[in-house]
Amino acid sequence: MEPVAIVLTLLLVIFVAIFGWKVGTPIAVVLVCALLFWGWGRVAKRKEADIELSKDLIEKHVRELAMKRRQMTYAGSYGVAQTGRWEKEQRKFVDTVIRPARQRPLSIDQAAINTLIESALDEYVARTPMTDEPPEDLNGVGYEIYCAEQLRKTGWEAQTTVATGDQGGDLIATKGAIRLVVQCKYFSTSKVGNKAVQQAATARPFYEATYAAVISNADYTPAARQLAKASNVLLLHHYDIAELDSIILQTAADQDRA
C-alpha cells in the first residue's frame, strides 16, 4: 500500500475511534481532502520544477543533441525511420545529465522528457541556418571539398591544403582576423578518435591558425572529446558549419573566462 493511502486510512480510523462514526467520519473526510489537495499541489510543483530543469539542460546542450539526432536517425528498409540509436541516446542524456542535476527522483518520465527534447530540437532547427546535405558516396578528398564549399557559403575564405605534407590540416579558412585550420574526417561506421584531434592540434601552430577544428559526419569517441577539450580543438559536425561564427564567438568567450 502507498504511504499516502496508509496515512489516510489511519486518519479515518483514528477520528472514527475518537469521535464515533457519525462525527469522526466527516472530520476525517475534511482532513483527508485537505491532505490530498496539499499533496497534489506539491506534486504539481515538483513536476513543474522538473520540467523547467529539463528544459534548461536541454537548451544548454541543444546543439549537441541536434547533431546526435541527425547522426542517429535515418530511413531504413521500406523508408521506415530507424530511431533506436537516437532513443538510446535520449535515455543516456537523461541518466547522465538531467538525473544527476536533481537530488531526488524525477517526477516526469522518460517519454515526457523525450517530448521536451524533440520540441526543443525542432525549434532549434527552425531558427538555425542549415548546411547543405553532402553528396552520397563521398570519399575523403570529396568530403574536404564539400566542407570547403560550405564554409565559403557562410562567408569564409576556404581552401584545401596540399594532399601531401598537409601537416594535419585539410582546410584553411579565414574570416577577418580569424584563421581556422580544419581536419576533415568522413566515416561511414566508426567514430572519430584521438588521431584526428592530434592532427588538428599539430596543424594549428604550423599554419599559424587562431583555432583548430575537426569536422566530421560521424560522432566522436569519449577519448577524442577529452583530448579536444584539453588541447582547445573544436569538434564539429558538418551541420555546424552554418553556425561556425557563433560557435567561435562562444569559444572565444569561454577562453577569456578561463
The number of residues making up the chain comes to 258
145 shares a domain with 123 = no
Long-range contacts of 80-84 (CB under 8 A, 24+ apart): none
Residue 112 domain-assigned? yes
Q: What is the largest CA-CA distance in the chain?
A: 95
94 shares a domain with 22 = yes
Residue 239 domain-assigned? yes
Single residue among 100, 127, 154 that ends a domain in this structure: 127
193 shares a domain with 119 = no
As for how many domains the chain has, the answer is: 2
Which of 165, 154, 163 has the alpha carbon at shortest distance from 236? 154
Q: Sorting pLDDT into bands at 50, 70 and 90, what band is 164?
A: very low
Report whether pLDDT(2) > 60: no
pLDDT (0 to 100) of residue 109 = 92
Residue 132 domain-assigned? no
Residue 88 domain-assigned? yes
Other residues' Cβ atoms within 10 Å of the Cβ of residue 110? 14
116 shares a domain with 212 = no
What is the domain range of residue 64? 3-127
Which of 166, 223, 169 has the alpha carbon at shortest distance from 191? 223
64 shares a domain with 32 = yes
Report whether pLDDT(31) > 70: no
pTM: 0.65
Residue 193 domain-assigned? yes
Residue 164 domain-assigned? yes
Q: Sorting pLDDT into bands at 50, 70 and 90, what band is 3?
A: low
**Terminal CA-CA length for the chain:** 53
230 shares a domain with 163 = yes
159 shares a domain with 122 = no
202 shares a domain with 151 = yes
161 shares a domain with 51 = no
Q: Are 91 and 109 in contact (CB under 8 A)?
A: no
Q: Are 20 and 60 in contact (CB under 8 A)?
A: no
104 shares a domain with 12 = yes
213 shares a domain with 161 = yes
Q: Give the domain CATH number at 174.
A: 3.40.1350.10
Please tell me the distance from the alpha carbon of residue 256 to that of residue 33, in angstroms, as a whole number: 56
Phi, psi for residue 58 in degrees, rounded to 5 = -65, -45
Please tell me the distance from the alpha carbon of residue 108 to that of residue 129, in angstroms, as a whole number: 32
Where helices occur in 61-187 by DSSP H, the ranges are 62-72, 84-93, 99-101, 110-127, 140-153
167 shares a domain with 100 = no
Q: Are 147 and 240 in contact (CB under 8 A)?
A: no
pLDDT in tens, 199-238: 999 999 999 999 999 999 888 999 999 999 999 999 999 9
Single residue among 73, 106, 127 that ends a domain in this structure: 127
Residue 87 domain-assigned? yes
- Using a 10 angstrom Cβ sphere, with 0-12 exposed, 13-18 middle and 19 or more buried, the burial of residue 28 is buried
Residue 246 domain-assigned? yes
pLDDT in tens, 97-154: 999 998 888 889 999 999 999 999 999 888 877 667 777 777 888 899 999 999 999 9
